Structure 1
C-alpha cells in the first residue's frame, strides 16, 4: 500500500508539473523560433527561452500573430561578463521594407565593468533616427528584469521594472506607427559594427556561446484583423500622469546617454519637428 501510495503521489506530482508547464509554454504557443533556442522551466513552472549566439549564427523568436496596438512585457536576463558587440532585443516591427514601422528596445552589450546601454527607438513610415539611450542602473545579467512597451493611438511608452523611462507622443501632422500591424520579436545577434562604443569594440568570440534568457511573456493587445485580448481598457487610452513624467525626467537626468533631439550634428537641416513640441 505504501509503495502504491508513493507511486500515486509521484504520478499526481508529475501531472501537476505537466499542467503547469503546459499552461506556461508561451514560447511554443505564441512564437516561431530561428537559430538555437533552448527551453526549460524554472522552479515556479515558468518557461524560460534561451537564445544562443556563436560565430555561426544568432537566434530569435517572433510572434505568430500580428498586432495593432497593445501592451507587451517580458523578463530578460542578459549576458554576464564581457558582452561587447552583442545586441539583445525586444521589439515590434511591420517588416523590413522602406516604409516600415518599428518600436525598439535594444540592449547593447558592454565591456566588463561598463554599463549595458538600452537603446529605445521608434520608426514610422521608414522614418527612424529617434533614439533615446540609457545606461541601465543595475546589472541586467545578475537577475531577471521586466521590460515593457505600451503602444496606443496617442503615445508609445517604454518601461523598465515598472518605471517609465520614455514616452513618444503622437502629433497629427507627423509620422506615427498607427496603420501597419506589427510582429513581436526577440533576437540576439552580432552587432559589432554598431553596438559598443559605435563599433570600436567587437565581440570576443572566446567567450561564446553567449546566452540571453527570456521568461514571463505577456501581451494585452489587438490582433490584426481580430479581437483585442483582455485588458484593453488598461492601455488603449494610457497616458502618463505627473508622477510618471517625473520618472522620465529622473531617467533622463541620471542615466540618459544619447538624445536625438540634442544631436544638431546629425540633423544639419534642423532637429526633427517633434523635438520642439515635447
Structure 2
C-alpha cells in the first residue's frame, strides 16, 4: 500500500471514529425527579408521585415551593408538561426557568417561562423573558394569552438554549425565537441551572398588584411531569461536541412550517411586547423586527389593543380601535 493510500486510510479511520463518538442529544428523553432535580425550598410543599415521574409544587399560607436541577448546563433543551392551579389564582406565579443568579449575582443570565395567575373568569397569562450578563434593566418581556385552559390538563413548555439561538416552545409549537447575533452581549453565555417554582407575587402579578393572593382558594398546586434535561453539563470534558449536536437537534431547526406556526401563535395570542413598548424603550432593541401592520395593534405601552364589541344602534368600531388592553 502506498504512503498516500495509507494516509488517506488513517484519515478516514479518524473521521469514522469522530462520527462514532459524537454525542447526541435526545430531546424526547425524560428523567425521574430524583435523577435530575433536588428540592430547593418549601420542602413540605413538594409532593412526588410514587414512580417519581411527577412532582407537585404547593403554595399555601406558610410558603411556596420549588426545585432545581442537580447540575448546571452550558446549553440545553429543558422541558416539562405542566398543569396550573385552577379557580381564583390572582397574585400566584408559577415559573419554569433557567438562571445562574446565585453564582453570578451581578452578571446573571436567565431564560423565563412565567405563568401569571388571575381572578376567576380571566385566563392565566404566560410571559417569556431573557436576560444576559446582568441586563436586568433591559427586560425582554413578551406576554401571551394561552389558546387553551392550562388548568384542566398538562401542556408541554420547553426552552431551547443553543449557542446561536433561544427558542421557547408550547406543545412543540415555537412561540419565540431570539438570535444571539442580534441580542449581542445580552445573550446568555454562562452555565445555568433549571428551576421550577410557585410563589406569592401579590405586589405585581395581577393588574399591577391590585388583586392579591387569596389563600381561601389555596393551596395552589402546580404539577410537573415529563421532565426533560437534554443539556450540556458544565464543566465536563465529556460534553465536547454537545453544543454542536444540540444545534442540529429538531427543536433548533426552524423549518418553514415552524416559522409559520410561530407567526400564527404570536398574531393570535401575544398581548404585550417590549418591542412596541416605546414608553420604556424609545429606541427599539436590535432584534426587534417592527412591522407597521403589526405596530398598529399595540399601544405605545406595548400592550395590545382590543376591538370594541359591536352594539345594536351604534356604528361598528373601525379595525384597530382602542379598547382596554389585555392585562
TM-score by shorter chain over 0.5: yes
**In the alignment, is the contact (CA less than 8 A) between 1:55 and 1:205 conserved in 2?**
yes
Q: Compared with structure 1, are the counterparts of its residues 72 and 61 closer, same or farther at alpha carbon in structure 2 (3 Å cutoff)?
A: same
**Counterpart pick for 1:236 among 244, 247, 253:** 247
Q: Compared with structure 1, are the counterparts of its residues 69 and 176 closer, same or farther at alpha carbon in structure 2 (3 Å cutoff)?
A: farther
Map 1:1-278; keep pairs closer than 5 Å: 26-33=32-39, 34-35=41-42, 36-41=45-50, 45=51, 47-96=53-102, 97-127=105-135, 128-171=138-181, 174-226=184-236, 227-228=238-239, 235-237=246-248, 238-268=252-282, 270-276=283-289
Count of aligned positions: 251
1:80, 1:217 → 2: CA distance? 22
1:125, 1:223 → 2: CA distance? 20
**In the alignment, is the contact (CA less than 8 A) between 2:34 and 2:52 conserved in 1?**
no
Secondary structure of the equivalent of 2:211? coil
Secondary structure of the equivalent of 1:260? strand
| TM-score, structure 1 normalization | 0.84
Residue 77 of structure 1, CA deviation: 0.7
Structure 1: unaligned runs, 5 residues or longer: 1-23
**In the alignment, is the contact (CA less than 8 A) between 2:140 and 2:274 conserved in 1?**
yes
| TM-score, structure 2 normalization | 0.72
2:324 counterpart residue number: none
- Please state which structure has a larger fraction of its residues in strand: 1
Q: Compared with structure 1, are the counterparts of its residues 28 and 232 closer, same or farther at alpha carbon in structure 2 (3 Å cutoff)?
A: same
Structure 1 vs Structure 2 CA RMSD: 2.2
Structure 2: unaligned runs, 5 residues or longer: 1-29, 292-327
Residue 167 of structure 1, CA deviation: 0.5
Structure label with greater radius of gyration: 2
Q: Compared with structure 1, are the counterparts of its residues 136 and 229 closer, same or farther at alpha carbon in structure 2 (3 Å cutoff)?
A: farther
1:12 counterpart residue number: none
